[in-house]
């Protein structure tokens, strides 16, 4: 078995999907886990990107169905988490409006992130290293502070934190371990980016969100494809078991091996 075949099997990506079937399966998955956990609903951070938009649609359908079936209140809480002024924050609000989210909050992470960056730089000085925190390092702080805030809300509101992780991110390790990679449930995990885009069109994600370049929003001008040097079409072809160029295969598999620690449980002895 080739490494590509092993990876496809590991992540459970199908070469083709039926949108209605996938939505139903993933909504049922969310509903079952909410009931099993005894929680009151789901929390989803809506970044303005396509992944969180699809997850928000699934969450809202799941909690609406739970409420209708049980006669009890279940909520989907949409959380907007800009760092200062977010240029595409309107897309986050457009997603919430498209799926008629009744519960939304905005938690600006700028002050908390800057305080941690400042404390980190003070620690560098104590080590005789007079420098600023790196741009990627501060990006990781943003990811973790966003998750801390989500869990603070979820704990007191008895909600599950929903992740937007999918197979295309898992393949390249393109997430912050125990930052945006630490959640309670991941309804998109066996889909690649192309399939997430298929579901986005099916569930009615706004075109402005579908058409934008994918970014984790960690620093100005950052895009996933530019940072990785791999397009999502190439990534999705690989995960669907299709042939890709030798150069693309080498890049993907090198990135996969390099980031295995992100996909693995914390080692112990």
Listing DSSP states for the chain in one string gives --HHHHHHHHHT--SS--HHHHHHHHHHHHHHHHHHHT--EEEEE--SSHHHHHHHHHHHHHHHHHHHHHSS--EEEEEE--SSS-TTHHHHHHHHHHTT-SEEEE---HHHHHHHHHHHHHHHHHTT---PPPHHHHHHHHHHHHHHHHHHHHHHHT-EEBP---HHHHHHT-S-TTTTT--SB-TTTT--HHHHHHHHHHHT--HHHHTSPP---SSTT--HHHHHT--HHHHHHHHTT----HHHHHHHHHHHHHTHHHHSPPP--
Residue 88 included in any domain: yes
Specify whether the CB–CB gap between 160 and 33 falls below 8 A: yes
Quick check: 118 pLDDT over 90? yes
Residue 61 included in any domain: yes
> What pLDDT score does 265 carry?
85
Q: Who wins on pLDDT, 139 or 221?
A: 139
pTM: 0.93
For residue 186, the enclosing domain spans 3-108+146-262
How many C-beta atoms lie closer than 10 Å to residue 222's C-beta?
Answer: 15
> What pLDDT score does 238 carry?
96
Active-site positions? 51, 169
Specify whether the CB–CB gap between 77 and 34 falls below 8 A: no
β partners of residue 79: 45, 105
* CATH number of the domain bearing residue 178: 3.40.50.620
Integer-rounded Cα Rg, in Å, for the chain is 19
Dump pLDDT digits (tens) for 33-60. 999 999 999 999 999 999 999 999 999 9
Dump pLDDT digits (tens) for 165-212. 999 999 998 887 888 888 999 999 999 999 999 999 999 999 999 988
Residue 92 included in any domain: yes
Residue 141 included in any domain: no
Residue 139 included in any domain: no
Quick check: 61 pLDDT over 90? yes
Residue 177 included in any domain: yes
**Number of domains into which the chain is organized:** 1
Residue 219 included in any domain: yes
Residue 243 included in any domain: yes
């Amino acid at each position: 078995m080739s490494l590509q075949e092993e990876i496809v099997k590991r992540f459970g990506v199908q070469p083709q999907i039926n949108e209605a079937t996938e939505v139903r399966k993933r909504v049922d998955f969310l509903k079952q886990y909410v009931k099993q956990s005894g929680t009151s609903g789901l929390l989803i951070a809506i970044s303005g990107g396509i992944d969180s938009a699809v997850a928000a649609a699934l969450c809202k359908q799941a909690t609406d169905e739970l409420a209708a079936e049980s006669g009890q209140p279940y909520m989907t809480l949409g959380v907007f988490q800009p760092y200062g002024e977010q240029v595409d924050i309107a897309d986050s609000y457009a997603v919430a409006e498209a799926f008629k989210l009744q519960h939304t909050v905005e938690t600006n992470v700028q002050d908390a992130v800057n305080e941690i960056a400042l404390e980190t730089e003070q620690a560098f000085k104590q080590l005789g290293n007079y420098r600023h925190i790196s741009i990627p390092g501060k990006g990781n702080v943003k990811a973790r502070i966003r998750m801390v805030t989500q869990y603070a809300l979820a704990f007191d509101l008895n909600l599950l934190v929903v992740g937007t992780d999918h197979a295309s991110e898992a393949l390249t390790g393109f997430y912050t371990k125990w930052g945006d990679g630490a959640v309670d449930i991941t309804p998109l995990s066996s889909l690649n980016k192309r399939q997430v885009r298929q579901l986005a069109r099916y569930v009615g994600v706004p075109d402005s969100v579908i058409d934008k370049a994918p970014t984790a929003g960690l620093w100005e001008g950052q895009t996933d494809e530019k940072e990785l040097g791999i397009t999502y079409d190439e990534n999705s072809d690989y995960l669907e078991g299709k042939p890709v160029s030798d150069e693309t295969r080498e890049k993907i598999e090198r990135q996969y091996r390099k980031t295995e620690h992100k996909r693995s449980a914390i080692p112990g002895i």
